[in-house]
């Protein structure tokens, strides 16, 4: 939006300069009175019409504006050469109100031609050189400055448009990333359920069917086998319940509204209440950003879920240490060591989270017995290279 107050100040300043120059040399004659009349007509024209055309860029009004300014500049130059200073207002005004660059150029040419013609009419052919010099110089300066400012405005508008497109693209990318994260988390959760609870329930169904078959008839041996199956069903149901609780603990939201040490302490206390396994927390990482804190907290959560499922431990230690260029999470337990067999997707879950932070994961048997999970994240993510995932060769492929 055009600020009219600056144009008001410019109009008054131009009139004041011209009037001041003409008042310096009395006595005043016809040319002086004619010059003052032109200045008065200019102020009236500006206040009544020109001022209200600022910002409109209407083609018809721009033609009228050009004609009026040509008449005022030409009349002023015909009376007094100093009145030609009105062109300092006229040239930029037609640029501002022009609907296109081409129209602005033609209006500038019209003002310059009018200035030369008025010079000859008011002062004779002896002044033709002065008129041409003033007209060419003023026209050249106006065109150069006007085209330069117009180009700057076009570049600014283009940058604003590109910025809007970039912001829209960033919003779409963020939405796609969130959607991809949700899809990945759902896929991981589906694999986890299939690998644990679904298999347990399938086994329960098969045992229930076999138990029902053995209960047919009065054979004492078959009834004894059926009772053994019932005991096995109960044991498998308890294991499935434990797996379900562990899965809920992994996917449940974690509050990180204070510090990482406080969040880990709350996580350990909740785990200790649920399982009876003692948890010690030692976290010293004041320089870790919020994003890395969430990665470490999730890794600790999945590490405790692994302890719940397989370790049969009585004690767990969570430790976080910060060095100059990295932060390290270590989860140790005094259980039976890494789980045997193909395992599940616990390591994959930790790997996926840590990979986003360009970190590394190590899992294997601890030197003092039990198992050890180490997660290391670089503090400077802009310079950290993706170091991938490394696993102890003596450890099984999965941890959950």
Q: How far apart are CA 223 and CA 332, in angstroms?
A: 45
* Confidence band of 124 (pLDDT split at 50, 70, 90): confident
Over range 233-249, report the average pLDDT: 75
Q: How far apart are CA 340 and CA 342, in angstroms?
A: 7
Residue 302 has pLDDT above 70, yes or no: yes
Q: Is the distance from CB of 298 to CB of 337 less than 8 angstroms?
A: no
Q: How far apart are CA 280 and CA 385, in angstroms?
A: 32
Over range 54-64, report the average pLDDT: 87
Higher pLDDT, 347 or 186: 186
Higher pLDDT, 211 or 185: 211
Higher pLDDT, 380 or 350: 350
Q: How far apart are CA 133 and CA 118, in angstroms?
A: 14
* Confidence band of 312 (pLDDT split at 50, 70, 90): confident
CA dist list (Å): 202 to 163, 194, 206? 55, 10, 6
Higher pLDDT, 276 or 184: 276
Q: Which long-range contacts (CB under 8 A, 24 or more apart) does 73-77 make?
A: 73/111, 73/114, 73/115, 73/118, 74/114, 74/115, 74/117, 74/118, 75/34, 75/38, 75/41, 75/118, 76/18, 76/35, 76/38, 76/39, 76/42, 76/118, 77/115, 77/118, 77/119, 77/122, 77/131
- Reference 265, options 313, 328, 316, 332; nearest CA is 316
The pLDDT value given to residue 113 = 92
Q: Is the distance from CB of 314 to CB of 308 less than 8 angstroms?
A: no
pLDDT exceeding 90 applies to what percent of the chain?
Answer: 17
Residue 393 has pLDDT above 60, yes or no: no
* Confidence band of 382 (pLDDT split at 50, 70, 90): very low
Residue 258 has pLDDT above 80, yes or no: no
Q: Which two tokens stand for residue 323?
A: 């060095």
Higher pLDDT, 369 or 69: 69
* Confidence band of 255 (pLDDT split at 50, 70, 90): low
Provide Rg for the chain, Cα atoms.
43
Q: How far apart are CA 377 and CA 289, in angstroms?
A: 11
Q: Which two tokens stand for residue 132?
A: 């041409």
Indicate the range of 49-63, 169-183, 265-279, 372-386 predicted with least confidence: 372-386
* Confidence band of 77 (pLDDT split at 50, 70, 90): confident
H-helix or E-strand containing 385? Answer: none
pTM for the full model? 0.45
Residue 189 has pLDDT above 50, yes or no: yes
- Across the chain, mean pLDDT equals 81
Over range 380-386, report the average pLDDT: 45
pLDDT exceeding 70 applies to what percent of the chain?
Answer: 86
Q: What is the DSSP string of 191-232?
A: HHHIIIIIHHHHHHHHHHHHHHHHTSS--HHHHHHHHHHHHH
Size of the chain, expressed as the number of residues it contains: 400
The pLDDT value given to residue 56 = 81
The pLDDT value given to residue 250 = 60
* Confidence band of 70 (pLDDT split at 50, 70, 90): very high
| Helix 346-355 and helix 128-193, axial crossing angle in degrees, nearest 10 | 170
Beta-strand runs (E) in the chain:
278-284, 315-322, 326-333, 360-365, 371-378
Q: Which two tokens stand for residue 239?
A: 């294991």
The pLDDT value given to residue 275 = 79
CB atoms within 10 A of CB 93: 22
Residue 249 has pLDDT above 80, yes or no: no
Under DSSP, is residue 134 helix (H, G, I), strand (E, B) or coil? helix
The pLDDT value given to residue 76 = 87
Q: Which two tokens stand for residue 150?
A: 């117009």
Under DSSP, is residue 397 helix (H, G, I), strand (E, B) or coil? coil
**pLDDT tens track for 329-351:** 999 998 887 764 444 446 777 78
Which neighbouring-strand residues pair with 280? 317
State in Å, rounded, how far the first CA of the chain is from the last one: 64
* Confidence band of 48 (pLDDT split at 50, 70, 90): very high
**pLDDT tens track for 140-162:** 988 898 888 888 888 888 999 99
The pLDDT value given to residue 246 = 65
Q: Is the distance from CB of 380 to CB of 287 less than 8 angstroms?
A: no
């Amino acid at each position: 939006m055009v600020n009219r107050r600056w144009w008001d100040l410019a109009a008054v300043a131009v009139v004041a300069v011209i009037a001041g120059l003409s008042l310096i040399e009395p006595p005043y004659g016809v040319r002086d009175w004619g010059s003052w009349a032109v200045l008065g007509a200019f102020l009236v024209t500006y206040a009544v019409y020109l001022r209200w055309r600022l910002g409109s860029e209407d083609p018809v009004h721009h033609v009228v504006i050009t004609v009026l300014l040509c008449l005022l500049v030409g009349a002023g130059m015909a009376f007094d050469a100093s009145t030609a200073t009105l062109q300092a207002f006229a040239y930029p005004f037609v640029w501002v109100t022009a609907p296109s660059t081409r129209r602005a150029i033609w209006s500038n040419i019209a003002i310059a031609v009018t200035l030369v013609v008025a010079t000859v009419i008011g002062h004779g052919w002896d002044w033709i050189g002065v008129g041409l010099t003033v007209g060419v110089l003023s026209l050249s300066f106006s065109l150069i400055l006007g085209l330069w400012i117009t180009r700057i405005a076009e570049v600014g508008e283009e940058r604003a448009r590109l910025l809007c497109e970039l912001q829209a693209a960033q919003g779409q990318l963020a939405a796609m990333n969130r959607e991809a994260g949700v899809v990945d988390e759902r896929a991981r959760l589906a694999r986890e359920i299939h690998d644990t609870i679904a298999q347990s329930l399938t086994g329960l169904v098969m045992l229930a069917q076999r138990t029902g078959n053995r209960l047919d008839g009065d054979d004492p041996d078959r009834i004894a086998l059926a009772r053994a199956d019932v005991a096995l069903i109960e044991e498998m149901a308890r294991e499935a319940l434990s797996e379900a609780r562990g899965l809920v603990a992994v996917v449940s939201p974690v509050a990180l509204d204070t510090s990482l040490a406080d969040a880990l302490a709350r996580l350990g206390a909740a785990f200790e209440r649920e399982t009876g396994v003692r948890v010690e927390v030692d976290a010293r990482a004041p320089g870790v950003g919020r994003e890395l804190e969430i990665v470490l907290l999730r890794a600790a959560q999945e590490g405790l879920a692994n302890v719940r499922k397989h370790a049969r431990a009585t004690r767990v230690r969570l430790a976080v240490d910060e060095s100059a260029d990295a932060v390290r999470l270590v989860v140790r337990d005094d259980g039976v060591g890494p789980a045997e067999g193909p395992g599940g997707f616990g390591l994959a879950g930790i790997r996926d989270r840590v990979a986003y932070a360009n970190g590394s994961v190590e899992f294997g048997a601890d030197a003092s017995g039990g198992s050890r999970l180490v997660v290391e994240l670089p503090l400077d993510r802009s310079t950290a290279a993706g170091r991938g995932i490394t696993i102890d060769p003596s450890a099984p492929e999965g941890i959950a």
